[in-house]
Structure 1
Amino acid sequence: MLEPREANLTIDLCLRVGELLLSSGAGAADVTATMQGLSRELGMRHAEIDITFTSLAMSYQADPEEPALGASRQVNHRAIDYDHLTQVDHLVRRVLDGDLDVREARTELARIVSTGHDRRRSMITAGWGLMCGGVAIQLGGDLVVIALAIVSSVLIDRIQLRMQRRRMPSFYQQVVGGGVATLLALGVGATPLPVNVSLVVTANIIMLLAGIGFMGALQDALTGFYVTASARLLEAFLATAGIIAGVTGGLSVATVLGVRIPRLEPGVANLQTLGMLAVGSAIAAATFAYATYAPRRILAPIALVAGLAMLISRVIELADVGRAWSVGVAAVFVGLVSFTVAGRIRVPPLVVVVPAIVPMLPGLLIYRGLTLLSEGGSATSQGLLAMAGAISVALALASGVILGEYIAQPLKREAARVEARLSGPRLVGPVHAASSTRRRRRKRAEAAREAEAEAEVEADELG
């Protein structure tokens, strides 16, 4: 039994680890399993953990006759940060290997949180710009569209950064981003340049689309965390509604200013050849990973996996197979290879999975569906079809990745016992908790033998 002081320190450590993982993009199932493994390794068995979208709670009662210990933490800041995610993953593994006790782990976690990144913020802005340029290539844009996508994304990122520093809600950031993207596209469309304004708007709003949140919601639903899934889904719809408000606001401003507005259909795409699709997807995935602080050593593998996944999806789709099945097969491929690639480069599989499927996310379908639904009338049926397509694509991506991880992870008997307590395969955190426990016990036994040997030597010297 842990002393109350040690138990409180363990609960606090687990909650801080869980908060950082959840705010950095990890799923609720992975966060729960990581906290359970960490607490069990530190001597706190059968701890109760409850996770929602904005809070974490943990309680422990060593004896029914003793009062229960508990604490909770709020997730106030939410941003994808794969650098912190990777460092915390390594920290958890070191604790499970017996290299760190609870106090050392708390010190290391404080260092991770307080240490900045090795990339300047301006380089992150450039990364977002190149990501939108890669998606513009993927959508079939020419050099003008690609350049406008890069310029627009850089401008939107700098404006949103200022709004974040003023603690403006994300909905208003989306509104401003959609308005800036629309006004820039209409301004270029009013010039003699021959440009497809609809495609420019589509490329400009790529970085604002909420496909990741939508897929994350379905992934949480598949793993049994329905409250968190509902919250993620509402966040995704609210973010997309903000873009729609920004685009319509930009059109209204252009009308007042007397700018000629051509027929505008945001969300249209004219997919390129297979080679350009693969190149655009690889660029988008690698630069997305760079902009979310993924380690540099994983960028090239992510680009390769994303390019191959897009080729698989497009080839299957060209064979008259539905898009949901085509992206589902590609997602299974991503799940299969991400486990091996991540293990070799020592990053969590989530760092490979999410950037690799970014080019296939249904953000544009969600946008088109909500836009058509807001118009009403005859467009309602088309909007419902678009939303149904978005849901099917996101569900195919989430279930395909999970299935690929199920197939890829080598489940031995001890690991299977750990996995039986989880809702699904792990995208963050170590799987083989049982084997790490054996390593910890082996280290303790070796330390005990060394202490006995030293005691014998001292006894001989005194004798």
Structure 2
Amino acid sequence: MTNNPGSRNYDDVGMIPIVAPGRPNKAARSVLRKLVQGEAPPTAPMNIVDRLAGSPYANFTIQVGKAEESARKTIDFALRLAETMFRYGAGALEVETSIIAVTAALGLRNIEVDITNQSVIINYAPRDAVPITLLRVVRSWTNNYAGLVAIHELVTDIASGGVTRDEATRRLEVIVKKPKPFPRWMVSLAEAIFAAAVVGVIGGTLLGMAVALLTILLAGQVARVLGKWRVPDFFVTAISSFIVTIVALLCFMANLALSPSVVVAGGILLMLPSGRLVSAVQDAINGFPVTAAGRFLSAFLSFGAIVSGIAVALVMSSMAGADWLEVAEPITGTRPLYLVLILVAISTVAICIAEQTAIKLLLPTMAVALAGYLAFYYGMEIGLGNRFAPAIAAVVVGILARIIALRLGAPQLVVAVPSIIFLLVGLSIFRAMFVMTLTPDDSVSGAVGIFNALIIILAVAAGVVLGDNIARPFTRSNGQKDRRRNRRR
């Protein structure tokens, strides 16, 4: 059958009309594919450079042509940098981001970083080449927040592409050999002033503040002598807490008008690993469980040493005929808000000096601590409770610490940690451990107290991390620069 032009086509057999197939709708197919299939394979590993997202080093500059020929030297420098940061008190996340930023800026992309409580491993495995794996163990620690600030500035300069590896190595050596900003005698005096100010914050009298100051001076000198003799830190802490308790007992036996529990609390607060506990929780939140576990164990060993020293002093005084003192009783003393703010400011500056903070950060850190304490105070006033109010204060500290620290060229840690000491997160755990260990009849209440203290510590650490994340959009130096891809020189 012949079809006329313009007529419909028919099948020769069944006279069934034949319809031409329509064009595929590409837009509809694309939308359908996105609904049922992800844009990236779900099992693809994350690029290690993606760990820099949200960090101060997110926009690094790659120095092309300088990687393969000196990969070993670059890895050695990165390990030396990481070891120094750990020695000075940096957190695991800060160390990891610094390593990634430095190695990426110097041209090493195929690396893996593994960080534990006291070791750093870097594996460099380029294609069609022999891999390199190097390990560095951190065997000593020291207080040097000023050194952390200098290292932060160095890593920032490397990431911006303005420093070569050889120059960076020389600058790191200068940082390591540079003296700390405050002499030893000033650190000892600052530790004693911190203890005295804390006694005033928790309700102690002027006499109690003076006794705490003299006690910490004595305990500090004994601790330094024991340190020169290479005595383990556990026994140094135990002996120091023993000295603090003996002094409080002697004052009580002399009928001085002061509370032994306040004197002991002020004396041991400097020994309490409050910052280590918060750092451990932060490491766990940031994805470093091994490092967090190590820091938790170290912190609880310190608590055990403090309880041991106090227990020995109490037993010795009881054998000598003195009355058994309740040094872990709750402290209910109050002070006017203006006076507490003054004492918080003094104690914050004192702990900054003890931690060897850079001089330019003393006043900003004090301001952050005062803002955090006001948030804590008014949170308690409106009835948030002793669990939620510290968390709110920690969020405020985390936000302000990141904004101020990065504006001044420093990591958030050096401002945040001294600013949360006023929350006294370690004192509650000490009291709970003391009750559970030395008063068997109240062991259940001691266990409940430890649980409540851990909840508060978790809330404080999570609040600092949350504040740090909230402040990230406000700490971008240049919006266009952040939206730009990693550029090459």
TM-score (norm: length of structure 1): 0.86
Q: Does 1:165 align with 2:228?
A: yes
Give the CA deviation at 1:137.
1.2
User: What do residues 262-293 of structure 1 show as CA deviations (whole Å, max 9, x unaligned)?
Assistant: 53233632242333332222222221111111
More helix by share: 1
CA distance in 1, matches of 2:187, 2:476: 43
Alignment of 1:218-297 (within 5 A): 218-258=281-321, 260-261=322-323, 263-266=325-328, 268-273=330-335, 274-297=337-360
Report how far residue 359 of structure 1 moved. Answer: 1.0
Could you tell me which residue of structure 1 aligns to residue 72 of structure 2? 8
Shift in Å, 1:412: 9.8
* Shift in alpha-carbon separation, 1:313–1:47, aligned structure 2, 3 A: same
- Name the CA distance, whole Å, in 1 between partners of 2:484 and 2:195: 43
Residues 100-115 of structure 1: matches in 2 within 5 Å?
100-115=163-178
> 1:208 is paired with a residue of what secondary structure?
coil
After the TM superposition, which residues 1-400 of structure 1 pair with which residues of structure 2 at under 5 Å, given as runs?
6-63=70-127, 65-258=128-321, 260-261=322-323, 263-266=325-328, 268-273=330-335, 274-375=337-438, 377-400=440-463
Counterpart contact for 1:372–1:383, Cα < 8 Å: yes
**Helix, strand or coil at the partner of 2:473:** coil
**CA-to-partner distance for each residue in 1:62-116, whole Å, 9 max, x for gaps?**
11x3111121111111233101101111111111122211111111111111222
Report deviation, 1:182.
0.5
User: Aligned residues, how many?
Assistant: 423
Q: Displacement, 1:229?
A: 0.6
Deviation at 1:436, TM superposition (A): 10
CA 1:169 to 1:410, structure 2 compared with 1: closer, same or farther past 3 Å?
same
Aligned letter for 2:369?
A
Is the CA contact 1:97–1:436 (under 8 Å) kept in the aligned structure 2?
no
3-state SS of paired residue (2:377): helix
Pick the structure with greater CA Rg: 2
Match of 1:448 in 2: none
Aligned equivalent of 2:27: none
Letter in 1 for 2:89: G
Q: Distance in 2 between matches of 1:180 and 1:139?
A: 21
* Cα contact 2:123–2:131 (8 A) shared by 1: yes
Inter-CA distance 434–238: structure 2 relative to 1 (3 Å threshold):
farther
Question: Aligned-pair distance for 1:156?
Answer: 1.6
Q: What is the CA-CA distance between 1:256 and the residue it aligns to?
A: 4.1
- 8 Å contact kept, 2:318–2:324: no
Checking the alignment, whether the CA contact within 8 Å between 2:146 and 2:358 is kept in structure 1 is yes
RMSD of the TM alignment (CA)?
2.3
> How many angstroms apart in 2 are the aligned matches of 1:366 and 1:436?
47
Q: Give the deviation of 1:315 after TM superposition.
A: 1.8
- Matched-pair contact (CA < 8 Å) for 2:67–2:106: no
CA distance in 2, matches of 1:170, 1:161: 11
Deviations 1:128-172 (CA, angstroms, capped at 9, x unpaired): 111111211111101011111111111222211222222221111
Whether the 8 Å CA contact 2:120–2:135 is kept in 1: the answer is yes
Q: 1:271 to 1:281 in 2, by over 3 A?
A: farther
Aligned counterpart, 2:17: none
Match of 2:113, SS?
strand
Q: Secondary structure at the match of 1:70?
A: strand
The residue identity in structure 1 corresponding to 2:328 is P
Following the alignment from structure 1 to structure 2, what is the Cα–Cα distance between the partners of residues 365 and 322?
A: 15
Cα distance in 2, alignment partners of residues 359 and 270 from structure 1: 16
Contact kept in structure 1, 2:152 and 2:409, CA below 8 Å: no
Amino acid at match of 2:166: R
How far off is 1:433 after superposition?
8.5
Q: Contact 1:136 / 1:280 at 8 angstroms: preserved in 2? A: no
* Partner-residue secondary structure (3-state), 1:207: coil
Once residues 412 and 254 of structure 1 are traced to their aligned partners in structure 2, the CA distance between those partners, rounded to angstroms, is: 55
Deviations 1:376-422 (A, max 9, x none): 64312211221112111111111111111111112899999xxxxxx
- Alpha-carbon shift at residue 312 of structure 1 (Å): 1.4
Secondary structure of the equivalent of 1:410? helix
AA aligned to 2:421 is V
Match of 1:453 in 2: none
- Indicate how the Cα distance of structure 1 residues 435 and 18 shifts in structure 2: closer, same or farther if over 3 A, else same: farther
Contact 1:361 1:393 in 2 (8 A): no
> Residues of 2 paired with 1:434 and 1:290: CA distance?
39
Contact 1:131 1:285 in 2 (8 A): yes
TM-superposed CA distance for 1:4, in Å, is 5.8
Alpha-carbon distance, 1:173 to partner: 0.9
* Offset from partner CA, 1:343-380 (integer Å, 9 cap, x none): 33332221110010011141111101111221364312
2-side partners of 1:232 and 1:85: how far apart? Answer: 19
Q: Distance in 1 between matches of 2:124 and 2:242?
A: 50
Calculate the TM-score normalised by the size of structure 2: 0.82
The one-letter code sitting in structure 1 at the alignment partner of 2:332 is N
Amino acid at match of 1:68: P
* 2:107 counterpart letter in structure 1: G
- Secondary structure, counterpart of 1:43 in structure 2: coil
In structure 2, C-alpha distance between the alignment counterparts of 1:404 and 1:306, rounded to whole Å: 14
